[in-house]
Chain A
Amino acid sequence: MMKAVSVNTCSGSIRIKKIMDRVTERKGTNVNHNSPKRIRKLQYLMILCAFCFPLRNHANDNLALKDVGPDQYKDLIQSRKAKILVVNFWATWCLPCRREFPAFVKFSQEADNSNAAVIFVSANFTDERKAVMTFLKKYGVKGESYLKTGKDGDFLAAVSDRWRGSLPATIIYGPARKPRFFHAGPMTYDDLVEEVNKIRRTLQEEGSNGGQSKRKEAKP
């Protein structure tokens, strides 16, 4: 969907450029050619263009850094469809965070993790957006990423009553965003896979126990 829009916009912008060129060309020779009709057409195209540009950037880059405060955290994790949601809290200047980061990116990109997703919440200070974006780009993070805002105490209270605020930290949620795993400290790729698989097995058992039809999903 996004791609189609971006292609259209591309050709749209090329067309605009051509028309603009023609207009300016003619402007030089004969002003009367700039009929109101043609100008209106140009205006329409420009409006279309203005609307499509953010979409085009989004499709190319697909990375966005959004603020998440204590009041938005619950909504954020609820909004994700994946059955298992891994939330990693990190910061650009946190050495163990930097070291474990590629493992989380790799995990998020694995094809067989279709029922699991990873979101990154940066605990960088709000005046460090640029550094956060640069870092995320460098590590090939796609989609929406988040920057923690608001007071630390409020934020931590909204996230977990187990976490005292040391970085990095990782929480893995199951369905209905029930926290299934918490770890304050770095993790390896293998740790992450193991923990997620454990949760999958637990969910499978809970599913078969409760006699619900969750059984066929959640294959490790």
Chain B
Amino acid sequence: MKHLARSILSGWILMLLLMSVQAGDQLEIGATMPKPNRKMKNVDGKQLSVADIKGKKGTVVAFWCNHCPYVIKYRSRFIELAKKYKDSGFGFITVNANDPEVYAGDNFEKMQEMAKRFSYPFPFVVDVGSVLAEAYGASRTPHIFLFDENDKLVYVGAIDDSTQPEKVKETYLADALDALLAGKPVPNASTRAFGCSIKWYKD
């Protein structure tokens, strides 16, 4: 009996441990956009919130950075996608939640340089303290969150299903945007992909 109690207890401890190791839970589908009015510094030096860039049809918030090879692989594809869907009424914003003390390549000057060099068609803001990333439960770059016109999360995950453009079969984000435009439910509401871990600011 004592053994049984002990094993149940150790099971619980293990479960709690497993739960505690995962940084902030990812926002659930249907959840309301967190911290829409949090102001963050954009590459143009102005303070900007997600609410400021919201689109009539919906909003794409992408956790992004400068250095990550996954971001680099997806950069031009995401830029093209943003250009295409901005005109259809979607707002786009990229957010850098990485602490430049942890990864120097993700500092503000480098962000400005990248935004300029690749003519980012969206704002690229600094999430000091990784506050927005934590509220969203973002864990990597790129990590995409799509909200509908009512600020409800309708899609979370990857841009598409392959880092190699020629191997792409499922264009998850584009499909989700098309579904919103057509007033249909998003086919794959939650997908996963590899990415660089967010370099959380130290407390």
Question: Within the complex, which residue of A125, A148, A151, A184 is in contact with B139, where a contact is CB–CB below 8 Å?
Answer: A184
Interface size on A, residues (CB 8 A): 34
B3 lies within 8 A of A208 (CB): yes
Give the residues in chain B near A93, CB-CB below 8 Å: 69
Say whether chain A's binding surface is mostly helix, strand, loop, or mixed: mixed
Q: Give Cα A165 to B194, complex, Å.
A: 4
Q: Are A162 and B22 in contact (CB under 8 A)?
A: yes
Residues of A within 8 Å of B26, CB to CB, are 164
Contact present for B197 and A96 (CB under 8 Å): yes
Q: In the complex, what distance in Å separates the CA atom of A112 from the CA atom of B193?
A: 36
* Contact B18–A185 (Cβ < 8 Å): no
Residues of A close to B115: CB separation below 8 A: none
On chain B, which size bracket covers the interface?
A: 20 to 34
CB–CB A184/B194 < 8 A: no
Give chain A's interface residues, CB within 8 Å of chain B. 91, 93-96, 123, 125, 148, 151-153, 155-157, 162-168, 180-185, 198, 201-202, 205-206, 208-209
Closest residue to B163 on the A side, CB-wise?
A125
Cβ of B142 to closest chain A Cβ, rounded Å: 10
Task: Name which of B6-14, B52-60, B147-155 contacts chain A.
Answer: B6-14
| Least Cβ–Cβ distance between B195 and chain A, in angstroms | 5
Q: Is the CB of B194 within 8 A of A167?
A: yes
Identify the B interface with A (CB < 8 A): 3-4, 6-7, 10, 14, 17-18, 21-23, 26, 69, 73, 102-103, 139-140, 143, 158, 161-164, 167, 191-199
Asked if B193 contacts A156 (CB within 8 A), the reply is yes
The contact of B194 among A156, A180, A183, by CB within 8 Å, is A156
Selected from B18, B192, B196, B197, the residue in CB contact (under 8 A) with A152 is: B192
| In contact, A182 and B21 (Cβ under 8 angstroms) | yes
Chain B residue contacts of A125, Cβ below 8 A: 69, 73, 163-164
Cβ-defined contact, A202 with B10, below 8 A: yes
Question: In the complex, what distance in Å separates the CA atom of A202 from the CA atom of B9?
Answer: 10
Pull 15 A–B residue pairs with CB atoms less than 8 Å apart, ordered by A.
A151-B167, A152-B161, A152-B163, A153-B191, A155-B194, A162-B22, A166-B139, A167-B197, A181-B17, A181-B18, A181-B21, A182-B18, A202-B14, A205-B7, A209-B6
A206 and B7 contacting across the interface, CB-CB below 8 Å: yes
For the complex, give the distance between the alpha carbons of A209 and B199 in Å: 42
* B6 & A205 in contact (Cβ 8 Å cutoff): yes
Which residues from A are CB-within-8-Å of B4?
209
Give min CB distance, A104 to chain B, whole Å: 16
